[in-house]
Amino acid sequence: MEGLRNVSSHCSISDMDDYDLSRLLDKPRLNIKRERSFDERSLSELSIGLARAGLDNLDSSYSPGGRSGFDTPVSSTRNSFEPHPMVAEAWDALRRSLVFFRNQPVGTIAAYDHASEEVLNYDQVFVRDFVPSALAFLMNGEPEIVKNFLLKTLQLQGWEKRIDRFKLGEGAMPASFKVLHDPIRKTDTIHADFGESAIGRVAPVDSGFWWIILLRAYTKSTGDLSLAETTDCQKGIKLILTLCLSEGFDTFPTLLCADGCSMIDRRMGIYGYPIEIQALFFMALRCACALLKPDTEGKEFIDRISKRLHALSYHMRGYFWLDFQQLNDIYRYKTEEYSHTAVNKFNVIPDSIPDWVFDFMPTRGGYFIGNVSPARMDFRWFALGNCIAILSSLATPEQSIAIMDLIEARWEELVGEMPLKIVYPAIDSHEWRIVTGCDPKNTRWSYHNGGSWPVLLWMLTAACIKTGRPQIARKTIELAESRLLKDSWPEYYDGKLGRYIGKQARKYQTWSISGYLVAKMMLEDPSHLGMISLEEDKQMKPVIRRSSSWTC
């Protein structure tokens, strides 16, 4: 990256002369009038869905403009009704988590829990954790911190990244970074972690995808194209794309990943082709397509993206999708088939279907399963992957409705007393020992193994609004409001119903706070949905049947 040094991920940038984030820009910022959060097409389609639920008058809805006062969120001042008392408390807590580098806010720490004796890495700015914080600030008319974060992480991408003697790909984004203040020398330094300090030493595959998605959200919210069009941002997007679009031995368009490479950052049996990564990959590709300048190199990337999107949507909508009919078909599969006419293309053994899924699957409803690879289907429900599938339009309109039908039909299992189950069901006993390696943190119905994560509230709310089900979002927000503030904003909840504060959950977890704020603001003003939602690409025709060879 031009003007950026290649240094070890442990090196600092303290010796740079009065570093200013704005120097990464190669153009002056354009003074563009703030645009709506979504285009006319998405407005009309969103209005149809929301009108059924009584949310009309979207034509007059804009993303909130102007900078709020320190304590008063813009979102609460625009409404005639009294905001929930939690909102002001949440904003205060969110602002306490701000991290500054040379007097400029560059992110929010993962948790602000002074009661915890072990800080570990919860005092760092995580790329994935900052996303809901960024959305909250964008919705509140405070885009500068988001811009600073995007530029700072873009600079970190340019660092040389090594784990032991192995050099990571140039486009890899950090999992997190930490700002160190020296009060004596009055200097600030940054240390970044690209996976070399993480549990299991796994690089975060999702960081680059979230960065592209957030850049698009910033552009959509502010109407400011100048940031995305800088040489550095264009190069950063292309470096990420180069990593994930490179050709190899894969026979599938999905991305092959290690365990622990995403929000589920510990061993949980998601190695292979996890739904979370595939959905984020799909969304990032679509966002990148909109952000890339159509110059010679940009058009080449756009063509590669288009081909990959078509193959990926076909693969995911066909092979990862599970509903009552498809479950019955898999149950009747024959095995050991050979040739291109095989019905059971992945040679999945019907006896490997877990018993729970037969009772879990309603007659109406469906979802994208956790993983599909040779001789293996992970039938578990993963909330993030399915919500992102709706928001990115990886799911067809019919599949999106089916996912919401499933959530309503299996409310106790997936929502319970605290939204939302990150994974369902939990694994235990012998399976837990084999899959997690006896992980004491991921015991059944805890943490990543069936724990309930309040941060997922914002994704579920966005999915509800997009599918015309705001009443589901309202109900889940009310559930969260009954506990979150009283419990000091825990990271996660334990138990089958999410009734208990997680046994190792941090208090004042930032993305629990910001996730609530984003959900609340989107429900108040559904026009915010345009920041994080993509309409269906009409060129990618929905897959009704897998192919003629899948028809018995």
Residue 149 counted as domain residue: yes
Residue 405 counted as domain residue: yes
- pLDDT greater than 80 at residue 117: no
Between CA 271 and CA 308 the distance in angstroms is: 21
- Per-residue pLDDT averaged across 445-456, rounded? 98
Res 33: pLDDT = 37
How far from each other are the two terminal CA atoms of the chain, in whole angstroms?
A: 53
Examine residue 419 and say whether the peptide bond preceding it is cis (omega within 30 degrees of 0).
no
- pLDDT greater than 80 at residue 28: no
Helix, strand or coil for residue 315?
helix
Domain count, the chain: 1
**Band of pLDDT at residue 340, cut at 50, 70 and 90:** confident
Residue 68 counted as domain residue: no
Between CA 305 and CA 153 the distance in angstroms is: 23
Res 232: pLDDT = 97
Between CA 241 and CA 540 the distance in angstroms is: 20
Res 72: pLDDT = 42
- Closest CA relative to residue 306, chosen from 319, 317, 292: 292
Q: What angle do CA 407, 411, 415 make, to 5 degrees?
A: 95
Between CA 266 and CA 233 the distance in angstroms is: 31
Q: What is the mean pLDDT of the chain?
A: 86
Q: What angle do CA 375, 376, 377 make, to 5 degrees?
A: 135
Between CA 552 and CA 542 the distance in angstroms is: 21
Res 82: pLDDT = 65
Residue 188 counted as domain residue: yes
Examine residue 285 and say whether the peptide bond preceding it is cis (omega within 30 degrees of 0).
no
CA distances from 176 to 95, 198, 427 (A): 19, 10, 29
Residue 213 counted as domain residue: yes
Q: What is the CATH classification number for the domain harbouring 473? A: 1.50.10.10
The pairing of beta strand 493-494 with beta strand 423-424: unpaired
Res 166: pLDDT = 85
Residue 400 counted as domain residue: yes
Q: Which of 27-31, 124-128, 448-452 has the lowest mean pLDDT?
A: 27-31
Q: Which helix (H) or strand (E) holds 438?
A: none
- Closest CA relative to residue 390, chosen from 282, 264, 519, 527: 282
Burial of 414 (0-12, 13-18, 19+ CB in 10 A): buried
Res 114: pLDDT = 65
Share of the chain above pLDDT 90, in %: 72
Task: Kindly state the tokens that stand for 137.
Answer: 């600030």
pLDDT digits (tens, 9 = 90+) for 279-290: 999 999 999 999
- Amino acid identity for residue 477 in this structure: I
Sequence-ordered strand ranges (E) for 421-482: 423-424
Residue 542 counted as domain residue: no
pLDDT digits (tens, 9 = 90+) for 305-332: 999 999 999 999 999 999 999 999 999 9
Task: Kindly state the tokens that stand for 158.
Answer: 């340019």
Task: Kindly state the tokens that stand for 387.
Answer: 């919500």
- pLDDT greater than 80 at residue 542: no
Distance of CA 452 to the CA centre of its chain: 16
pLDDT digits (tens, 9 = 90+) for 136-193: 999 999 999 999 999 999 999 988 887 787 888 899 999 999 999 999 999 999 999 9
Residue 393 counted as domain residue: yes
Sequence-ordered strand ranges (E) for 430-519: 493-494, 500-501
CA distances from 382 to 14, 39, 407, 450, 490 (A): 41, 30, 12, 10, 20
Res 116: pLDDT = 61
Domain that holds residue 492: 85-531
- Closest CA relative to residue 425, chosen from 413, 435, 434: 413
- Per-residue pLDDT averaged across 101-124, rounded? 86
